[in-house]
């Protein structure tokens, strides 16, 4: 990959879904970072990239909710 011209697709997914997740839950960036430190949201998105990149945003957000709040 030519890093000068292309965006890493995993990083793009992480940024996109993180922004939507913050909007969904009314989180500030600092609150999101605190939650990520506890639950490794970005790692979850990285590990799940293969199925997630074929899933719509709402589906990914629902999966993320189930991961972050497992009860």
Tell me, what's the pLDDT at 21? 98
Cα separation, 69 vs 71, whole angstroms: 6
Q: Of the candidates 31, 32, 28, which has an alpha carbon nearest to the alpha carbon of residue 45?
A: 32
CA dist list (Å): 13 to 24, 51, 71: 16, 12, 25
How does residue 7 score in pLDDT terms, banded at 50, 70 and 90?
confident
Contact 22, 32 (CB under 8 A): yes
Predicted confidence (pLDDT) per residue in 19-67, tens digit: 999 999 999 999 999 999 999 999 999 999 999 989 999 999 999 999 9
């Amino acid at each position: 990959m030519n890093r000068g011209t292309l965006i890493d697709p995993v990083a793009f997914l992480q940024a996109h879904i993180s922004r939507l997740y913050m909007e969904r839950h009314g989180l500030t960036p600092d609150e999101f970072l605190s939650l990520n430190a506890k639950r490794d949201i970005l790692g979850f998105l990285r590990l799940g990239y293969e199925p997630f990149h074929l899933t719509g945003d709402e589906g990914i957000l629902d999966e993320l909710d189930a991961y972050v709040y497992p009860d």
